[in-house]
Amino acid sequence: MWARTLISRRMSRRGVSAVQRTRAIAHHMMSTSANTSEQPPVIFESLLSTRVYKLNRPKKLNALDMSMLELLRPKIEEWSKSPLCGVIWGSGEGRAFCAGGDVAGVVADASAAETRPRAVEFFRKEFELDYILGAVDKPYVAIMDGITMGGGVGLSVLASFRVATENTKFAMPETKIGYCPDVGASFFMSRLDGELGTYLALTGETISGRAVFEHGIATHYIPAKRIPMLLESISSLEDPKFTQINKVIEDNVSEPETPGTFTSDFVGAKRIAIDYAFAHDKVEDIYTALGELKSDSDISISKWASDTIAALDMRSPTSLKIALRAIRAGKSMSLFQALQMEYQIAAAYCNGASTDFKTGVTAVLVEKTKERPQWNPATLEEVTDEILDKFFNPESVYLQNLPEFSVPEHLKSAPIRPSRFALPTELDIKDMVIGEHQASGDTGLTLDELVSNFENLYDHKTGVREKVMDTVARKCQVVDNADGNKVWLKWNYSS
């Protein structure tokens, strides 16, 4: 491989480009109709300084099982230390990046005492891999093309570069199956703007396409047909740096069909409603707020509130309370602490702290029923603090003698900055408006000045204008200039 790399680098730029383009396109566009039964569940490839893994269980939507985790971790650790590896690239074969973990197998293992340790081990290995991918100090490009849910979110959402396409379908649907959002959800979803992450974690709602980028879950949005060219361009970088890769991806993005507005449905009045209803620290209070919104004069909001209540009614009451508690705790935790907490929650489920995980997987994934599963307890009121302590209290009998959650020591203190190349957050915009941003001036800002400031800071990144406009419309008011002209922006805390 070393000799092959030296020879490749001596080729002319034209020759290298042709070879790379052919290999990249062939690699990426490999027909899913090909016989993959004899191929490994993860395919690894080297394209000059880029190291590629491709999840290769298309018939299972690339659902993660133990064998895939055991293939991925040593390879990722090897690449993270190799001077020949400049970029890590992750993708999936077929119509999914990764639809999640193979939870049916995990539940089956957890159902018997002799195989239960294997179920706990699955979660430990999965979460450790998620941490390593989030902490690796080399550029990591995750291609979220297609279904990206559950375990697939864990492999991608902490990457330095997260590329969504028109095919992306993002969700953390664990409460639907009597489980709790994991793979770092308590870290990254608690840091999404407002209460959007809380809403997504509790309802399991899906966000698709460009909206995944607009809400900061992905860092970029490009058409799926450009992915092979993107792989070629990144692989051709001789000494790839984060800023170089960001520019290469930006060169491949597509503009929104309607400039100046978001495509997401979670904007405007609906986004205000989400932030209002899901700001509470008790699930019962969230229900109360949604009940108030059912009477809203805006028909779209009243319908949304009714639909959301109906969706929550289908979820496991225990899962809802665990998810909310984890999201609130994770907001002040490091990634390592959040994953460690989620590992304990997963272990408690496996060790019998609740029967809802098995009930949900059987009803939703095996029997595929549309009816509400037989959750136990069946109501929110019955889910007591004593039940929740089974998952969160270190003294819980369901959390004893767990294998240690461990990652390479040199990565434990690694900076985790998943929003570095994403659109500015609402907190960034707020800080600029109130004068606390490092790029703020000494005077107030007009809307045009605010937009200009962020476009310059983000090197005119596609979507910045739309993000600023959407935030200002909900969170700011225009105040008087003392001469009758209302031009200055003021942050509206009461919103």
Q: Annotated catalytic, 463?
A: no
pLDDT at res. 367: 95
pLDDT at res. 484: 67
Q: Annotated catalytic, 484?
A: no
The partner residues of 44 in beta bridges, in order of sequence, read 53
Residue 285, token pair as written in the block: 């209070």
When pLDDT is cut at 50, 70 and 90, the band that residue 9 belongs to is very low
Where is 147: in which H helix or E strand?
Answer: strand 147-149
**Which of these is catalytic: 146, 151, 154, 209?**
151
Paired sense of beta strands 486-491 and 87-92, if any: unpaired
**pLDDT tens digits along 227-284:** 999 999 999 998 999 999 999 999 999 888 888 889 999 999 999 999 999 999 999 9
**Which of these is catalytic: 93, 128, 174, 470?**
174
Would the pLDDT of 15 be above 90?
no
Q: Annotated catalytic, 182?
A: yes
Would the pLDDT of 363 be above 70?
yes
Cis peptide before 377 (omega within 30 of 0): yes
Q: What is the per-residue DSSP string for 85-129?
A: --EEEEEESSSEEE--B-HHHHHHHHTSTTTHHHHHHHHHHHHHH
pLDDT at res. 113: 94
Would the pLDDT of 138 be above 90?
yes
**How far is the C-alpha of 397 from the C-alpha of 404, rounded, in Å?**
16
pLDDT at res. 258: 82
Mean pLDDT on 59-66: 96
Q: For residue 393, report the phi and psi dihedrals to the nearest 5 degrees.
A: -80, 120
**pLDDT tens digits along 287-342:** 999 999 999 999 999 999 999 999 999 999 999 999 999 999 999 999 999 999 99
**How far is the C-alpha of 266 from the C-alpha of 302, rounded, in Å?**
14
Would the pLDDT of 17 be above 90?
no
pLDDT at res. 2: 38
pLDDT at res. 12: 41
Q: Is 261 exposed, middle or buried (0-12, 13-18, 19+ CB in 10 A)?
A: middle
Q: Annotated catalytic, 281?
A: no
If one counts every other C-beta atom within 10 angstroms of the C-beta of residue 439, the result is 11
In one-letter notation, the amino acid at residue 393 is: N
When pLDDT is cut at 50, 70 and 90, the band that residue 55 belongs to is very high
**pLDDT tens digits along 438-447:** 888 778 899 9
Question: Average per-residue pLDDT in the chain?
Answer: 91
**Could you tell me what percent of the chain has a pLDDT over 90?**
83
pLDDT at res. 495: 63
* 88-119 core/surface letters (b: 16 or more CB in 10 A; e: else): bbbbbbbebbbbbbbbebbbebbeeeeebbbb
Q: For residue 349, report the phi and psi dihedrals to the nearest 5 degrees.
A: -60, -50
Which has the minimum average pLDDT: 331-340, 368-377, 403-412, 467-476? Answer: 403-412
Which has the minimum average pLDDT: 8-12, 140-144, 158-162? Answer: 8-12
**Which of these is catalytic: 93, 102, 109, 182?**
182
**How far is the C-alpha of 460 from the C-alpha of 477, rounded, in Å?**
25
Residue carrying the six token digits 């957890």: 110
When pLDDT is cut at 50, 70 and 90, the band that residue 427 belongs to is very high
- Angle ∠(306,308,310) on CA atoms, nearest 5: 70
**How far is the C-alpha of 253 from the C-alpha of 154, rounded, in Å?**
24
The partner residues of 34 in beta bridges, in order of sequence, read none
